[in-house]
Structures are given as structure tokens and as C-alpha cells.
Structure 1
Amino acid sequence: MTHLVAAAVAFVLSLILPVLLKPILLRLGVLDIPNERSSHTEAVVRGMGITVAAGVAGGLLAAMLLGSGQGVPVLAALGGAALAAALLGWVEDFRGLGILARFLLQLGIGAAATAMLVRLADSTWWWVPLGAIAIAGYINVANFMDGVNGISGLHGLAAGGLFAVAGGMTGLAWLVSAGVVVAAAFAAFLPWNFSGRNFLGDVGSYLLGGSLAVTGVAAFLHGVHPEMLLGPVAVYLADTMTTLLRRISAGERWYTPHRQHVYQRLTDAGLSHLQSALVVTVCSVLTGICGLIAAEGTLPVKAAALAAGVAVLVFYLRSPRIFRRLQERSTA
């Protein structure tokens, strides 16, 4: 019952609050202006991720009020870190920050969150720097991948849901709550985002990356198998890392806007925003399932599941070529 109530609170807040927020953002002029990275051609409202942040906060608060035991302080730490990431994203949306200042603040959020989680899990403090890098890194990954309508909402739904399943399999009630809250909050924003007129903005993508990364770090420190936690985010990581390496090897400035991510090249190959987002999401669900199986299976099952996950990643990375050839054949 706790999980259902928390998810319902997150969903309702994230679904309803845009009605109130959008006129305010329009008056403030918080707009996304198309650039080299954009997949849209006209200015649209951004910063709507504040409503998703409110949904996540409300859902986690409900879970804490209805929960008990060690899970309550863990959820409080998760919520604080996720909202801190969202606040940083809002500053970026509204005023902008330099690259170095932005990254240092992301590292600070990651270090503070990991330190709290290490204390709660009674783990070694050596995890703090690694956790800080992981959290800051995935905040940026989620931001880089937020370039077509629906992709972040679907990723929050898929990854949050898979984390909730991992929580159920490992007996961590707080992980179930955190997963369903993230999934519900981001799912509720999808109807707003699919229209192409409302964007999460950096506040939303930072919230997405921060909430998933901090939840993953917390789960790892509480003994959850890494396969369960890496599976749902493997596609995002593979897309970002291969794109980054490709740009560096080509002598390009990796931090400048571009359209070289796999999901962006899928739209160039003829897929719609929704179709591109669905390719990413389906592949993420498949790698997530492979991770769940690998974590719980015998050695042969683990090897087969990991091989299947790698095959999904290879397909995803090659998918722009595959879909382009299919498109050419259909028009020939």
C-alpha cells in the first residue's frame, strides 16, 4: 500500500502542476531556443521539470510518512540529493552556469549524497569519491540524452520501474518506493512532453540523472548486485560514452552542442521523436531484464544474460544504420 500511495502522489502532482507552472514560465521567458543539438525548430517552454521534481518530492515524502525503519532516512537522503540536482538544473535553465562551476557543484551534490548514504549503510568512506563521480557523471549523461520528445520521461519510467523490481527481488522496501516514485513522476509528464511544446529543461534532466544515480549508489551500498543497477542505464551510458569517444578521436570539442548521439541519428534516419525514444527505452528495458537475470542466475545463466545484454547494446549502437537501410528499402 505504501508504494501505491507514494506512486499515486508523485503521478498526480507531476500531471496537474504543469497547468499552474506553464503560464509563469512563459512570463519569465524560460524558453528553449533551438541550437546545433536541438531536434526542434522553434522556441518552446522549458523548465517544466520543476513539476516532476515536486512529484518526486511529494511521492518520497508520502513513502517516508507511511514507512518505517532504516528506509526512511535513506529516502530522505535520496530526496534531498535529487532535489539539489534539480535546483542546480533550474539555475542552469534560468541563468546559466560555466562548465567548471556546474561540474564542481554536481560533484559536491554527489559527494554529500554518497557520504550520507555511506553513513546510513555503515560502509567504507572510500566509496565517497567514486559515488560523487558516478552521480555527477550520470547527471550529465541524462542531460546529454534529453534531446527528443519523450525520451527522459520514458527513461524515468523504465529505469525507475526496473529499480523497483530490483528492490522487490532484494527485499529493500525503500528501493521499491524510490523506483515507483521516479517512474510515476516522469510517466505523468509524458502527455505534456509528447506535444513538443513543453520541455523538462535542465531541471528535469538533472533531476532524472540525479535521482537514478543516487538511488543506484544507495542500492549498491546496501548490497544490491551491480548488474541490477547497471542494466537499466546501460544504453544511456553506451550512447554517451561512444559519442564522446567518437568526438574526441575526431578532434572535436566534446562539450559543444551537437547531434551525434545514437538517438539523434535515429531521427536523422527517418524515425520520429517518439519512435527514437521508444528504441532507446525498449533496449533499456531489455538490458535491465538481462541485468536482473544475470544477478540472480547460475554462472551459465549469468553468462548468457550478459551476452544478451551486450547484443542489445551492439544492436542499439548500430540501429541508425539499420533503420536507414530499412527506410531506403521501403522507398526504393
Structure 2
Amino acid sequence: MTVFAIGWIAGAVALGASSLLPFVVRPLLVRLGIMDVPNERSSHARPVLRGLGLAVLVAMGAGGGFAVGAEYAAAGEWRILLTVVAGSLAAGLLGFAEDLRGLSVGVRSVLLLAIALGAAVAILLLAGSGIPLWGAAALTVYAVLFISSYINVANFMDGLNGISGFHGVIAGLAFAAAGGLLDLPWLFAAGLVLAAGFGGFLPWNLTKPGAFLGDVGSYLLGGAVAVTSFAALIAGVPLLATIGPMVIYFGDVAVTLVKRVRSGHRWDEPHKEHTYQRVQQLGYSHVQASGMTAAATLTTSLLGLLSLFTGTAGSIALFAAGLAVLVLYLLLPRLLPNRH
């Protein structure tokens, strides 16, 4: 078995498990009474079962676990893959605790920072002694803020049917492509497991009666994307390729929060002012609004991957193009016709 075949098989395991496990998980969630009740932030009008991200969590654990074991047997880079899988699952488990009983803001924040710190330190230690101490310290601070922030970002953006599933698929495939192009089998496997895990969830989310990821799924998504992104950066993947899938999510959340604070609102109050929510409020369906967000993310991901083939000048041009895509996305509520 070749090292890249491991990734394909791991992805197949995750896809199969993510597609079938909801048959087992749904009855469990019903018994636990984990329902999403509409509030000021919701874009749906009736209670919907949530927490189906637990199936994605188990599926990605199965696919990732297979990949780690196979990489170990093949004397591959199993340690870095194990760190990515463990960091992703830890974020998902924190979200599951939030779904089950809720956590105080303080406890949740401390645990998010602990997960980010643990993943960052492990990744940097595995990188070896080539990084000076001051550089490792700076990268650790960056990673803790970056990973913990993106887990929150993914949670904020999980407000429409399809949006998180599309994001997981696109980000995973972007990371897998980078891994394949740069001969990083662990990144190839991690990306395919991420894409397959959320790809298997999409039919359950998009068909009636539907079900939501819940915090377990959105935390898992944010953790998996952010930890994989940081590990890829440390492995030598160009910065733009590592953050390409995250530009739209970060931009939407950052701009929305700044607007709310400037308007005198509390940043943590429930609301429906994100760009993707405002697009849906114009009369577009969940899938249409989610698809627009996904199309923008796919574009910035592809621009990031192009940086693998350019020098400094080309990367600057690609960065500018990515910002242009973000600005266009943020302007969609003004540019699109109102369908009401």
C-alpha cells in the first residue's frame, strides 16, 4: 500500500461511516432531547434535531485512526497526523459537552485555549530543532489565538443548512490537494478525512426532516480546519495555501462583529447579521445562500493553491485577488436582488 493510497482508504472509511452512522446517532439524540430551538440567531422557524455532528466526529475518528495506524506501519509521518486528528476530535468533544449540558463562557474559553495550546506545542515539537526559541514562542502565541478563534468562527458561521458541510468538503479537498502537490501524505490523508466526514453529513442536513451538526460538529469543523492549517504551515506549505479556505469565514465574522460593536451592540448577543444570513433574508434558500458562501471559499482556496507555483510577486497578487473576492462576498446583500 502506497502512502497516498492510505489517504484514499482513510477518506473512504470516513465517508462510509459519516453516511451510515446517523442511523445510529439520530435515535440517541432523540432520547437525549438535543433539539435546536429557534432564537434570535436562527435562520429556521421550527425546532430541529441537532448534534448529528457526533456521527461526523466518530467517522473522522475512524478514518483518521486508520490513517495514523497505516502511516505508522508504513513508517510515515504518523505523529503529525495523530496530532491533527487528536486536536480535531478534542475540539469536537468540547462541542459535544456544550450540546449536552452547556458550559460557562469562562470554562469553554479555557478549554478552547488548552486545546489550541496542546495542538500548537505538539506540532512545533514534532517540527524539530530548526525553529529558534523566540520563533517557537511567537508561533505558539499565533497558533493559540488562530486555532481557538477559528473554532468560534466556525460556530458563528454554522447558521444555514449546508454551509458547514460545504465548508468542510472544500477545506478538506484544498488541504488534500496541497498535500498531494507537495508530497505530504499526512496532509493528503487529513484533508480527505475532513472532506469525507462532512461530505457524508450533507445529505442528512439537506433533506427533510433534516438535522444540524450542533456544537459538536461546528467545533469539530473549526478545530480540524485550523489545526490542519497550522500543521501545514509549519510543514512548509505556503501561507496563502493554508489560509485560503478560511478567508471568507474569518472575514464575515470579523466585519460583522466590528459593525455590531460600532453600533453599540454586544458582540456575543445572538443575531442574524452575518453576510450569509442577510443573503438568505433576501429570499434565497438555505442551499443558495450557503452555495454562495461556498463558491467564495472555493475561489479563495484555489487562489491559495496557486501560490504553490508562484514567487513573492505572484503571491502578493493572489493575496490581493483573495481580498477582492472577500469584498465582493461581503457586498452580496447589497448587490443581489431582493426576491421577496
- Calculate the TM-score normalised by the size of structure 2: 0.93
Alignment-mate amino acid for residue 326 of structure 2:
L
Alignment-mate amino acid for residue 104 of structure 2:
G
- Calculate the TM-score normalised by the size of structure 1: 0.95
Task: Give 1:2 deviation, angstroms.
Answer: 1.1
Question: Aligned partners of 1:47 and 1:302: how far apart in 2?
Answer: 40
Structure 1 stretches of 4+ moved >6 Å: none
Alignment gaps of 5+ in structure 2: none
Question: Aligned partners of 1:223 and 1:270: how far apart in 2?
Answer: 44
Which of 157, 163, 171 is the aligned partner of 2:175? 163
Alignment-mate amino acid for residue 122 of structure 2:
M
Task: Give 1:132 deviation, angstroms.
Answer: 1.3
Task: Give 1:228 deviation, angstroms.
Answer: 0.3
Task: Give 1:166 deviation, angstroms.
Answer: 1.2
1:160-195: CA deviation from partner (whole Å, max 9, x where unpaired): 100111112222110010001000010000000012
Task: Give 1:271 deviation, angstroms.
Answer: 1.1
Q: Is the 8 A contact 1:167 1:175 kept in 2?
A: yes
SS in 1 for 2:19: helix
1:300-324: CA deviation from partner (whole Å, max 9, x where unpaired): 433432232122111100011111x
Task: Give 1:224 deviation, angstroms.
Answer: 1.2
Task: Give 1:272 deviation, angstroms.
Answer: 0.6
Residue 217 (structure 2) aligns with? 204
Residue 281 (structure 2) aligns with? 268
SS in 2 for 1:41: coil
Task: Give 1:143 deviation, angstroms.
Answer: 0.2
Residue 9 (structure 2) aligns with? 5
Question: Aligned partners of 1:217 and 1:184: how far apart in 2?
Answer: 20
Question: Aligned partners of 2:314 and 2:114: how far apart in 1?
Answer: 39
Alignment-mate amino acid for residue 48 of structure 1:
L
Residue 338 (structure 2) aligns with? 327
- Matched-pair identity in %: 43
Number of residue pairs matched by the alignment: 327
Question: Aligned partners of 1:64 and 1:294: how far apart in 2?
Answer: 28
Which of 80, 83, 88 is the aligned partner of 1:82? 88
Q: Is the 8 A contact 1:48 1:199 kept in 2?
A: yes
SS in 2 for 1:327: coil
Task: Give 1:4 deviation, angstroms.
Answer: 1.2
Alignment of 1:54-133 (within 5 A): 54-67=58-71, 68-69=74-75, 71-122=77-128, 123=131, 124=133, 125-126=136-137, 127-133=139-145
SS in 2 for 1:260: coil
1:49-78: CA deviation from partner (whole Å, max 9, x where unpaired): 011011111111111222234520111111
Q: Is the 8 A contact 2:238 2:307 kept in 1?
A: no
Question: Aligned partners of 1:215 and 1:69: how far apart in 2?
Answer: 20
Residue 241 (structure 2) aligns with? 228
Which of 32, 38, 44 is the aligned partner of 2:36? 32
More moved, 278-287 vs 166-175: 166-175
Residue 293 (structure 2) aligns with? 280
SS in 2 for 1:252: coil
Task: Give 1:299 deviation, angstroms.
Answer: 4.2
Question: Aligned partners of 2:279 and 2:99: how far apart in 1?
Answer: 27
Question: Aligned partners of 1:228 and 1:197: how far apart in 2?
Answer: 33
Alignment-mate amino acid for residue 276 of structure 1:
A
* Structure 1 position 297 matched with structure 2 position 301: no
Alignment gaps of 5+ in structure 1: none
* Structure 1 position 313 matched with structure 2 position 326: yes
Question: Aligned partners of 2:316 and 2:118: how far apart in 1?
Answer: 36
Task: Give 1:287 deviation, angstroms.
Answer: 0.7
Alignment-mate amino acid for residue 327 of structure 1:
N
Residue 184 (structure 1) aligns with? 196
